[in-house]
Amino acid sequence: MNKHIVLYKKLSPALMIRLQERAQVTLIDTLDSDGLQRLRAALPSAHGLLGASLRLDAELLDLAPRLEAVSSVSVGVDNYDIDYLSGRNILLSNTPDVLTETTADTGFALILATARRVVELANLVRAGQWNHNIGPLHFGSDVHGKTLGIIGMGRIGEALAQRGHFGFGMPIIYHSNNPKPAVEKRFNAQYRSLSQLLQQADFICLTLPLTAQTQGLIGAEEFALMRPESIFINISRGKVVDENAMIAALQQRQIRAAGLDVFEREPLQHDSPLLHLDNVLATPHIGSATHETREAMARCAVDNLLAALAGERPANLVNEVVWRQRLERV
């Protein structure tokens, strides 16, 4: 296969060797101004792109007339103009399955740590301020037996429900585009409208993709529906939430606390009010950030790209319409 792959993400030596055995590879190891300049210079001869965390817009991809496939090392595809790619018959693939369990682990870690104020109280000990037994001022709230509300019952939502139902005896309520009978049977879960879920859940967890329909889904009106003891968890995408509305709800104690792994702008700005709220636990988008999962994601992305460039259907194809059109032309 005499193809040129532009790689804008570092891979393990084994995966790098695998790519180099099958194609010419150009590695762009940083995405600073110099790296972006080198990327633009490499695009005219590129048949395949592999990477993550870079917005590939039409202006950039117009520089790549030979491009056949883009392989994203992510489950989210909001960095890509899917209509543009499909219009040019470029296959887009992602890595949806391999990070499900790890991301659900992160979500439940945020539930536990936020409810029990783990980071806040650990910092108290570290600062030498644990001078007597803690009292009600530092009490947290129980997790077991509380109602877990999941907004977006996809793979990660189901994995989160499994942990809550079987591990912590939590009643599960959920909201999604359509009811999920199999989920309801397995976890004794109950479907709710969005407003009902926001009013009834003790823990409100977002596991939605970012789309035109979900952007800004949770705003001031939605936070007003939550109860003062509610804890809000976001492991989806930051732009699903109106961040200013969330900050106001936390400042005014409309809700008890928030555990956040994603934000409207990442990295989180140093002047963000979220950094100064004692009822916020913020992590740096670590949903899939384990050695095992990140390697599995990269391996999946390599498999997807090599399949696409060999004329085969990638296992995790996002724009199926392009593949159907290719079959029709054969």
Domains of the chain: 4-97+291-329 (3.40.50.720), 100-282 (3.40.50.720)
Which pLDDT value is given to residue 327? 85
266 is catalytic: yes
- Average pLDDT on 20-35 reads 95
- Say how far apart CA 164 and CA 179 lie, in whole Å: 19
| H runs (alpha helix) in 140-284 | 155-162, 168, 181-187, 194-200, 220-225, 243-251
Which pLDDT value is given to residue 163? 98
Catalytic option among 4, 285, 294, 299? 285
Q: Are 80 and 56 in contact (CB under 8 A)?
A: yes
Catalytic option among 229, 266, 312, 320? 266
pLDDT mean across residues, the chain: 96
- Average pLDDT on 206-232 reads 97
- Average pLDDT on 37-43 reads 97
Which pLDDT value is given to residue 9? 96
59 is catalytic: no
Catalytic option among 175, 237, 256, 299? 237
Question: Length of the chain in residues, anyone?
Answer: 330
Q: How far apart, in Å, are the Cα atoms of 204 and each of 159, 196, 272, 323?
A: 15, 11, 22, 38
Which pLDDT value is given to residue 328? 82
Specify the pTM: 0.94
Given 3-state DSSP classes, what are the helix, strand and coil percentages for the chain, each rounded to the nearest 5?
40, 15, 45
237 is catalytic: yes
Instruction: Give the model's confidence band at 330: pLDDT under 50 very low, under 70 low, under 90 confident, else very high.
Output: low
Token pair 């950039």: residue: 60
pLDDT tops 70 at residue 263? yes
Which pLDDT value is given to residue 281? 98
